[in-house]
């Protein structure tokens, strides 16, 4: 049996710390704890079931790499479009419009996912995700 019981946090290096902080708080994430200042500032934001940790940096890191995307779970399929639209209204760039995908061949049971993707302030890929059993 695994001793892992969830994701504690995903860390993002923000080239514009205040812009990233404003983006994620406008999506509804709640500041949990922060420390440091200037280029040493960090902030943990509570998603409700895990944490996004922002780090200020003066280095412009590429968005593409081993980090693929961060996915936020939403309670209802309709919430996916609402969060997508909200993200766009606060400066995100569109990546993939909301879509619903039935996965009949999923194992061990069929599921239906509704998801949408945007690019956040530093070009990071952000997903809004809902999954239902079919």
- How many domains in the chain? 1
The structure tokens listed for 22 are 């404003």
Q: Please provide the average confidence, as pLDDT, over all residues in the chain.
A: 90
pTM of the model: 0.81
The answer to whether position 2 is within a domain reads no
The answer to whether position 3 is within a domain reads no
- Quickly list DSSP for the chain: --S--S--EEEEEESSHHHHHHHHHHTT-EEEEEE--GGG-EEEEE-SSSEEEEEE-SS---S-SS---EEEE-SSHHHHHHHHHHHHHTTPEEEEEEEEEEETT-SSS-EEEEEEEEE-TTS-EEEEEEEEE-
Domain of 79, in residue numbers: 9-133
User: Stretch 104-114: mean pLDDT, rounded?
Assistant: 91
The answer to whether position 100 is within a domain reads yes
User: Stretch 99-115: mean pLDDT, rounded?
Assistant: 92
The structure tokens listed for 44 are 């943990």
Q: Higher pLDDT residue, 95 or 40?
A: 95
The answer to whether position 1 is within a domain reads no
CATH of the domain at 79: 3.10.180.10
The answer to whether position 75 is within a domain reads yes
């Amino acid at each position: 049996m695994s001793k892992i019981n969830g994701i504690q946090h995903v860390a993002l290096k923000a080239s514009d710390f205040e812009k990233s902080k404003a983006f994620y708080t406008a999506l509804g994430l709640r500041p949990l704890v922060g420390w440091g200042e200037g280029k040493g500032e960090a902030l943990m934001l509570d998603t409700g079931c895990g944490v996004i940790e922002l780090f200020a940096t003066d280095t412009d890191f590429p968005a593409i790499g081993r980090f693929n995307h961060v996915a936020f779970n939403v309670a209802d399929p309709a919430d996916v479009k609402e969060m997508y639209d909200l993200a766009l209204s606060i400066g995100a760039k569109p990546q993939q419009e909301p879509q619903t995908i039935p996965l009949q061949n999923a194992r061990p049971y069929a599921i239906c996912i509704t998801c949408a993707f945007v690019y956040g302030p530093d070009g990071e890929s952000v997903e809004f995700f809902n999954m239902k059993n079919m």
